[in-house]
Amino acid sequence: MTKMSGAKVLLESLEQQNVDVIFGILGGAILPVYDALCGNEKIRHILARHEQGAAHAAEGFARASGRVGVCMATSGPGATNLVTGIANAYMDSSPMIALTGQVPSSGVNSSYMIGRDAFQEADIIGITTPITKHNYQPRTIAEIQPMVNAAFYIASTGRPGPVLIDLPKNVQSDTAEVEMGITDKIEARGYKPVLEPDLSKISEAANLLANVEYPIILAGGGVIISNASDELMQMSDLLMAPVATTFMGKGAFSEAHPLSLGSIGMHGNPAANRLMGEADVLLAVGTRFSDRATANLDTFAPNAKKIHIDIDAAEIGKNIEVDVPIVGDAKASLRQLHAATAKKLPKMKTSAWSKRVKEAKEQLSPLLKDRPKELVPKSLLLELRKLLTADAIVTTEVGQNQMWSALYFQALKPRTFISSGGLGTMGFGFPAAIGAKVACPDRPVVDIAGDGSFLMTENELACSVTEKIPVIVIVLNNSVLGMVAQWQRTLYKRRYMAVNLGKSPDMVKLAEAYGAQGLRANSIEEFHKAVKTALNSEVTTVIDVPIGSETDVVPFVPPGCGLPQQRGDY
């Protein structure tokens, strides 16, 4: 037993969980933890400029590395500013711990206490209940370590997600005799993630797969989370099945592979959307069949028997009826399914289906269509792919920049394409890039941005410059909120409302004001040169790329329509 403050217990518990970086902003109610951090050599604290940035950075860190990302904020507004980042991590199933200060739960000044509307008090437990996997508020020092252990276990296992720990100030500052236990005891008896699939279901799925002609695989974010890309590749090889991904699954299967179809969805690759309708069996892994992926469900893979693997039992049957449900970890399930199917399947010859896949890609894939000579999103993204190594990490903002990236930028490896899928949070990409760079300092990290999104979290330039975390931001600058402008153009008869951003600010000068490098590119040659300069820079670089303000992301499945009703000349 040692006499320790709650803050010290917290930090030691975090160290036991191998935490070496926290993204955060301090404030009154979290001061004892910051005081304990002073002089701590194991944990690096990265000072964000807004708590939303800290939360997104923690998620970028988590998604690039597969480790749990940690963010921290004070009570009240600090905590509520984390909310968007927490909701984002919840929707995209990213492992994250959010630590928040809270006003005291007891003490000498009774008006400065939980429940009395004290200064900077917000009910962050109540607020985050629907957007966290779980949340905790320790009331004694003895509870801190078991809660931290359980929080990391819950955040990182099963279907990962954010867990918040709200720390009343007196619990941080008081001292008590504590025994820092060993970390493997988890006090969460109501939490038992299922990893291994039911073998009878595996066998049922194998029978189905062994007797079909037109199999297609749909890989979601779960494949990346479970590190199951190798198993996915083996499954595809065995079945000679083309692989489409959801937007969140981008990178789970190399998009340079002959059997890759790119992403399905509202702005999906037409080859993927088309073949989804021709398949006779769909093997879906680690996806929740989001509305943006499936479009109208009546016309989604209408001819296919559906096998659905997911670690979250509640996802099975939630959005789509399936023929064979398999609850389990993607990696374990794919491995079992591969073994079971291999026994039943005759060695595959080149089938009519493989020919059809090749033909559909040649006819429909946007990557194989014309390559414009001028600097437009498509040519820029094709050029960027050539300039970056396969392991370079790309994040995106939300809107047109994101959908162009999905269509034209090939992700070659898992965890190299990080974007806000479920929540669609503008401003995510830049802080996420900072977090990814902290996780992978030796790899280039590029945020593909739009001017609208970038301005939402551009203040983190101060963080990236001061903390020496060099990333590259490519601003596709069309001076409008492009995606909503596109909707107003195509669905609201060009009645533009509140989408025009004008030419302010000057992105180059903005970057320079923060001490970052600002460059502008007006041609492919200039872009090429700017990226080369940025890759060799020790400071964050913003590359401003003026583009037309009326460029659409096409093709497009209008709201309410099905994948086969994709339209637009591309």
Stretch that binds another protein, among 314-322, 338-346, 371-379, 419-427 (CB under 8 A): 314-322
| One of 47, 142, 313, 554 touching another protein (CB under 8 A) | 313
Catalytic residue, from 147, 276, 403, 483: name it: 483
* Nearest residue (CB) to another protein, 63 versus 134: 134
Q: Which amino acid is at 291?
A: D
Helices (H), 174-213: 199-210
* Nearest residue (CB) to another protein, 135 versus 333: 135
Instruction: Residue 135: name the closest of 127, 145, 125 by CA.
Output: 125
CB of 26 to another protein, least distance (A): 26
CB of 135 to another protein, least distance (A): 8
CB of 59 to another protein, least distance (A): 21
* Nearest residue (CB) to another protein, 327 versus 434: 327
Catalytic residue, from 42, 119, 348, 362: name it: 119
Instruction: Residue 395: name the closest of 430, 423, 443 by CA.
Output: 430
DSSP 367: G
Contact 132, 82 (CB under 8 A): no
State yes or no: is 483 an active-site residue.
Answer: yes
State yes or no: is 51 an active-site residue.
Answer: yes
Helix/strand/coil for 290: coil
Instruction: Residue 209: name the closest of 339, 355, 359 by CA.
Output: 339
User: Which residues in the 131-160 window bind another protein by CB under 8 A?
Assistant: 133-134, 154
User: Which residues in the 399-458 window bind another protein by CB under 8 A?
Assistant: none
Q: Draw the binding track, 22-51, toward another protein (x: CB under 8 A; -: no contact).
A: ------------------------------
Which uninterrupted H or E stretch holds 465? Answer: helix 460-466
Catalytic residue, from 23, 91, 147, 169: name it: 169
CB of 351 to another protein, least distance (A): 36
Instruction: Residue 168: name the closest of 113, 111, 110 by CA.
Output: 113
> Beta strands of 295-374 (E only): which ranges?
305-310, 324-327
Q: Draw the binding track, 169-208, toward another protein (x: CB under 8 A; -: no contact).
A: -------------------xxxx-----------------
Catalytic residue, from 12, 51, 231, 397: name it: 51
* Nearest residue (CB) to another protein, 88 versus 263: 88
* Nearest residue (CB) to another protein, 313 versus 345: 313
Q: Which amino acid is at 54?
A: A
Show Cβ contacts of residue 459 under 8 Å, excluding neighbours closer than 6 positions.
Answer: 49, 50, 53
* Nearest residue (CB) to another protein, 130 versus 502: 130
Which uninterrupted H or E stretch holds 45? Answer: strand 44-47
* Nearest residue (CB) to another protein, 176 versus 313: 313
* Nearest residue (CB) to another protein, 106 versus 522: 106
| Structure tokens given for 269 | 């690759």
Residue whose token pair is 């502008």? 520
User: Which residues in the 334-373 window bind another protein by CB under 8 A?
Assistant: none
Stretch that binds another protein, among 65-73, 213-221, 308-316, 392-400 (CB under 8 A): 308-316
φ/ψ bin of 48: left (φ > 0), alpha (ψ from -120 to 50), beta (otherwise): beta
DSSP 475: E
Beta partners for 394? 417, 446
306 is an interface residue for another protein by CB under 8 A: no
Alpha-carbon gap, residue 541 to 519, rounded angstroms: 7
DSSP percent split of the chain into helix, strand, coil, nearest 5: 40, 15, 40
Contact 226, 161 (CB under 8 A): no
Contact 104, 121 (CB under 8 A): no
* Nearest residue (CB) to another protein, 159 versus 274: 159
- Pairing of the two strands 21-24 and 44-47: parallel
Cα pseudo-dihedral 383, 385, 389, 395, rounded to 10: 120
Distance of CA 268 to the CA centre of its chain: 18
CB of 130 to another protein, least distance (A): 5
CB of 292 to another protein, least distance (A): 19
State yes or no: is 300 an active-site residue.
Answer: no
Show Cβ contacts of residue 347 under 8 Å, excluding neighbours closer than 6 positions.
Answer: none
Instruction: Residue 224: name the closest of 55, 393, 416, 465 by CA.
Output: 416
User: Which residues in the 77-136 window bind another protein by CB under 8 A?
Assistant: 125-126, 129-130, 133-134
Contact 94, 61 (CB under 8 A): no
CB of 134 to another protein, least distance (A): 4
* Nearest residue (CB) to another protein, 115 versus 502: 115
Where on the chain is the footprint of another protein (CB under 8 A)?
125-126, 129-130, 133-134, 154, 188-191, 312-314, 317-318
Q: Mind telling me the catalytic residues?
A: 51, 119-120, 169, 483
